[in-house]
Chains A and B, each alone.
Chain A
Amino acid sequence: MMLGDWRRCWKGKRSDERAQSTYLTASLSPREGGEGERSKARAAHLLRSGEKAGDEVIAVSQFVENFLQALVAGLLTGAIYGLMCVGLSVIFGVMRVINFAHGDFMMLGMYVAYYAFGVLGIHAVFGSTLGPYVAALIAGPVIFLAGILVHWLLIGKVTGMRSSALRSEGHYAQLILTLGLALILQNGGLYLFGSTPVSISTPLASNAWALGPMYRDRIEVFVNQGQTVAAFIAVVVVLAFVMVMNRSRLGKSLRAAADNPEAATYMGIDVTQSHRLAFGFGVAITAIGGGLLASGTSFQPYVGLEYVIVMYAGVVLGGLGSVSGAFLGGLTIGLVQQMSTLFLPNQLQNTAIFVVFLFIVLLRPQGLFGTALRGT
């Protein structure tokens, strides 16, 4: 939604005008000498105080507007971060694997959404308003299958029950494997997709709903339409996944495989299969997050590096292994990143994230929501 005229006058006119009229009255007063001078001085004082009060009102209303705008931006950005963190958290929570290639699966999700939108005809069928979000959802199952394949061929060899036979329970091999996978995906992406930045075009990306004007027309907050739709989808996907984890037999088997793989095996649960599904779900959820991002920003094959650190911070902040905690951790990261700009220079946005991260780890090593939400 466009603003008609952005140059609205916020000069606190009323107090200024009142002081000005008092000054004029004093100037026209027939009395001279001390009384007249005192009136002039009082009027000048009122003028100054009126200006000061006007400035204060402007400053306060501007701060409130900036605060609300940053809050909205933080919530909308944080919801997408939260979705991506959930994907990472599933893999870590169930498999206990630190997946350095996670950001690159997100990148693959972005490209799947991009090509689904442009080449597979999603744009033609659903248009440029709905199409980008349908394309983002399509990225989920596609990357789920890719994740299953990668686990079957590679990750499964160094994780799960097999890893107990390896040095340090396979953690070294897992680290090297996922790092190598990240490099292959980045450079393979460069070869396949090229280095030219691309994005999914939607009119919602630069349109907003306006809240207001409020408070004597001094405050108006814009809510980006594209990000709002993306955040809504992110929340729905997370809720759906939490339902699956809590209410379905599949979710129970995944949680059992996470809690105690040996006991789960004795109970007839195929732990390797559970891990494979967890890996598939983890990368698929993050791919949907990537697909949602693809309509708001341009990207190239190295885009995953920009997000993977934020994802890890969100997961640890929320509480390792907790799905709901990971989402709230991602949301917190988004809020800190955007709202820190109210008090700190923009350059320190990401520094603020890690200062808060370290502070929380210092006070609550289990993460913000680790205890309360464990087991979701």
Chain B
Amino acid sequence: MREAIPRARRPIGLVLALALAAAVNAAAQTKDVEVGLIAPMSGPYARQGQVMKMAADMAIETINQQGGIKSLGGAKLKLEVFDAGDSVEKAKNAAQRMVADAPNLVVATGAYLSSFTLAVTEVTERAQLPVVTFSYSDLITSRGFKYVFQTSATGVQQAEGSLPALMEMAEKASGKRPQTVGIVMDNTAASVSFVKPMRDHQFEKLGLKLVVDETFTPPLANATPLIQKVRSARPDILILLPTVISDAKLLLEKMNEFGLGRGKLPTIANGAAILDPDLRNNMNIEQLEGVMAVVADWTTSAQKDFVAEVKKKTGEPWATQHFVTTYGDIWIFKAALEAAGKADRESVAKALHAMNLTGGAANFFPGNGKLKFDENGRREGASLLIVQWQKGVPITVYPAKDAISPPLWPKQ
């Protein structure tokens, strides 16, 4: 028996050593903080999802290189990606997979379309998983949810704010206030909701006369009748709202054909679709000159180094709205984790509610320079930007404090 004790101790020592090694390894593994990206990675929206992933990867690489989350002992961020697909049902299924398969996930961003985000956050709210989103719909932060945070100016805020901003820009650029306006739009929900407050009260309030108002069902076969009506009515500004690239191409080419393009008729769209590199790849660059879009985020004059880094690291010609916002979201995660000091969902959600940043992540979201969410999770002071195609690149032209270049506007 006496001889057996030392023999028995040897395996016990071995077991203890292995357990210690496993504990050390486990401690090393818990250092990684899992953050999620739920976005379309397949189907027709896959390109936007891929852009969002590029942005998240770039932000995480930078954060980890700079020492990770310092309040968590230098913990590294680790990205988990979930494919939201191309339908609300698929997005909801992806959210269910996300909360079931990734219990260590502490916060997530997504999910591209507002309809996807509405479905995804129904699932994540029950799992008490904080989600930071850029989707526009007002409904996202109107449901009394505690774990949803919206960084963009909402759809209604954009619709209400874009026309006064455009009028102000027009007056400053040309010295003349526009008197007449035209609308050419498709009948998708985004376009309809964007022009609703304008038709309801804004045109009257701003003294604008609506001289052409045309709605079409996408896809267009020929844009001639629509642009002919614009040519006949001769508005001072045109609100052009296609959501499909093929329609945007047809409309803009027809405007050029009729002599209304290249900034002769100030034209403004909503959302980043008309600023997408895909449109430039399908059109003569010169024909895009002067076309503007109201967006909730873009690169500004303060981010020249960031743009250079994006070009160098990703090969993208510029940082689109979804790139900038996803990149900014990851920096919001870092700030929240630093403040929480704990990698758990509840602590991160509390940190997000208590957040009041100036600089850092706040630089990636236009507004009052601060990053603060109200009790519903809506970012306070969120505002819009106006971006214009100039020499083949979409750049911010409004407001002046964020503008990279002054707007191109016809003097007469």
Whether a CB of chain B sits under 8 angstroms from the CB of A148 is no
Q: Which residue from chain B places its CB closest to the CB of A6 in the assembled complex?
A: B259
Q: Which of A206, A298, A302, A347 contacts B287 (CB 8 A)?
A: A206
Tell me whether A222 and B257 are in contact (CB under 8 A). Answer: yes
Given that A346-B216, A346-B225 are contacting pairs, would A199 and B258 also be in contact in the complex, using a CB cutoff of 8 Å? Answer: no
Given that A6-B231, A62-B232, A338-B225 are contacting pairs, would A349 and B250 also be in contact in the complex, using a CB cutoff of 8 Å? Answer: no
Q: Which residue from chain B places its CB closest to the CB of A195 in the assembled complex?
A: B44
Whether a CB of chain B sits under 8 angstroms from the CB of A66 is yes
Tell me whether B278 and A347 are in contact (CB under 8 A). Answer: no
Q: Give CA–CA (A376, B272) in the complex, Å.
A: 51
Residues of A close to B187: CB separation below 8 A: 347
Q: Which residue from chain A places its CB closest to the CB of B255 in the assembled complex?
A: A206
Tell me whether A70 and B46 are in contact (CB under 8 A). Answer: no
Residues of A close to B228: CB separation below 8 A: 65-66, 69-70
Tell me whether B257 and A207 are in contact (CB under 8 A). Answer: yes
Given that A72-B224, A199-B282 are contacting pairs, would A345 and B287 also be in contact in the complex, using a CB cutoff of 8 Å? Answer: no
Number of A residues near B (Cβ < 8 Å) is 45
Query: B183-218 CB contact bits vs A (8 Å, 1 = yes)?
Result: 000010000000000000000000000000011110
Given that A2-B259, A66-B228, A346-B216 are contacting pairs, would A203 and B284 also be in contact in the complex, using a CB cutoff of 8 Å? Answer: yes
Query: A65-83 CB contact bits vs B (8 Å, 1 = yes)?
Result: 1100110110011000000
Query: A347-364 CB contact bits vs B (8 Å, 1 = yes)?
Result: 101100000000000000
Tell me whether A206 and B284 are in contact (CB under 8 A). Answer: yes
Q: Which residue from chain A places its CB closest to the CB of B261 in the assembled complex?
A: A206
**What is the distance, in angstroms, from A221's C-beta to the closest C-beta of chain B?**
9
Query: A324-368 CB contact bits vs B (8 Å, 1 = yes)?
Result: 000000000010011001100111011000000000000000000
Residues of A close to B284: CB separation below 8 A: 201, 203, 206
Q: Which residue from chain A places its CB closest to the CB of B47 in the assembled complex?
A: A196
Whether a CB of chain A sits under 8 angstroms from the CB of B260 is yes
Tell me whether A346 and B246 are in contact (CB under 8 A). Answer: no
Tell me whether B264 and A205 are in contact (CB under 8 A). Answer: no
Tell me whether A297 and B246 are in contact (CB under 8 A). Answer: yes
Tell me whether B224 and A195 are in contact (CB under 8 A). Answer: no
Tell me whether A206 and B219 are in contact (CB under 8 A). Answer: no
Tell me whether A73 and B282 are in contact (CB under 8 A). Answer: no
Q: Which of A6, A199, A300, A341 contacts B249 (CB 8 A)?
A: A199
Residues of B close to A345: CB separation below 8 A: 214-215
Q: Which of A73, A207, A224 contacts B225 (CB 8 A)?
A: A73
Residues of A close to B215: CB separation below 8 A: 345-347
Query: B7-36 CB contact bits vs A (8 Å, 1 = yes)?
Result: 000000000000000000000000000000
Residues of A close to B43: CB separation below 8 A: 195
Q: Which of A4, A70, A196, A302 contacts B224 (CB 8 A)?
A: A70
Tell me whether B259 and A341 are in contact (CB under 8 A). Answer: no
Whether a CB of chain B sits under 8 angstroms from the CB of A32 is no
Given that A298-B245, A346-B214, A347-B217 are contacting pairs, would A206 and B254 also be in contact in the complex, using a CB cutoff of 8 Å? Answer: yes
Tell me whether A197 and B254 are in contact (CB under 8 A). Answer: no
Q: Which residue from chain A places its CB closest to the CB of B223 in the assembled complex?
A: A73
Whether a CB of chain A sits under 8 angstroms from the CB of B253 is yes
Residues of A close to B253: CB separation below 8 A: 205-206
Q: Give CA–CA (A149, B44) in the complex, Å.
A: 30
Residues of B close to A350: CB separation below 8 A: 217
**What is the distance, in angstroms, from A208's C-beta to the closest C-beta of chain B?**
5
Whether a CB of chain B sits under 8 angstroms from the CB of A125 is no
Residues of B close to A224: CB separation below 8 A: 224, 257
Whether a CB of chain A sits under 8 angstroms from the CB of B293 is no
Tell me whether B246 and A208 are in contact (CB under 8 A). Answer: no
Whether a CB of chain B sits under 8 angstroms from the CB of A167 is no
**What is the distance, in angstroms, from A281's C-beta to the closest C-beta of chain B?**
25
Q: Give CA–CA (A129, B46) in the complex, Å.
A: 33
**What is the distance, in angstroms, from B112's C-beta to the closest C-beta of chain A?**
14
Tell me whether A197 and B278 are in contact (CB under 8 A). Answer: yes
Residues of B close to A195: CB separation below 8 A: 43-44, 46-47
Tell me whether B260 and A6 are in contact (CB under 8 A). Answer: yes
Q: Give CA–CA (A338, B219) in the complex, Å.
A: 14
Q: Give CA–CA (A368, B261) in the complex, Å.
A: 40
Q: Give CA–CA (A7, B254) in the complex, Å.
A: 17
CB within 8 Å of A: which B43-74 residues: 43-44, 46-47
Tell me whether A65 and B214 are in contact (CB under 8 A). Answer: no
Tell me whether A198 and B224 are in contact (CB under 8 A). Answer: no
Q: Which residue from chain A places its CB closest to the CB of B187 in the assembled complex?
A: A347
Whether a CB of chain A sits under 8 angstroms from the CB of B256 is yes
Tell me whether A297 and B249 are in contact (CB under 8 A). Answer: yes
Tell me whether B225 and A70 are in contact (CB under 8 A). Answer: yes
Whether a CB of chain A sits under 8 angstroms from the CB of B234 is yes
Tell me whether A4 and B259 are in contact (CB under 8 A). Answer: yes
Q: Give CA–CA (A195, B217) in the complex, Å.
A: 21
Whether a CB of chain B sits under 8 angstroms from the CB of A299 is yes
Tell me whether A306 and B225 are in contact (CB under 8 A). Answer: no
Tell me whether B249 and A298 are in contact (CB under 8 A). Answer: yes
Query: B235-266 CB contact bits vs A (8 Å, 1 = yes)?
Result: 00000000001100110011011111100110
Tell me whether B216 and A347 are in contact (CB under 8 A). Answer: yes
Residues of A close to B258: CB separation below 8 A: 3, 6, 208, 222
**What is the distance, in angstroms, from B113's C-beta to the closest C-beta of chain A?**
15
Q: Give CA–CA (A6, B264) in the complex, Å.
A: 9
Q: Give CA–CA (A97, B295) in the complex, Å.
A: 49
Q: Give CA–CA (A349, B221) in the complex, Å.
A: 10
Q: Which residue from chain A places its CB closest to the CB of B225 in the assembled complex?
A: A341
**What is the distance, in angstroms, from A58's C-beta to the closest C-beta of chain B?**
9
Could you list some 22 contacts between A and B, CB below 8 A? Answer: A2-B256, A6-B259, A7-B412, A77-B222, A195-B43, A195-B46, A195-B47, A199-B282, A206-B254, A206-B256, A206-B257, A206-B261, A207-B257, A297-B246, A297-B249, A298-B246, A334-B221, A337-B222, A338-B225, A345-B215, A349-B217, A350-B217
Chain B positions within 8 Å of A, measured between CB atoms, are 43-44, 46-47, 187, 214-217, 219, 221-222, 224-226, 228-229, 231-232, 234, 245-246, 249-250, 253-254, 256-261, 264-265, 278, 281-284, 287, 412
Q: Closest 6 A-B residue pairs measured CB to CB?
A: A3-B259, A73-B224, A341-B225, A206-B253, A346-B216, A298-B246
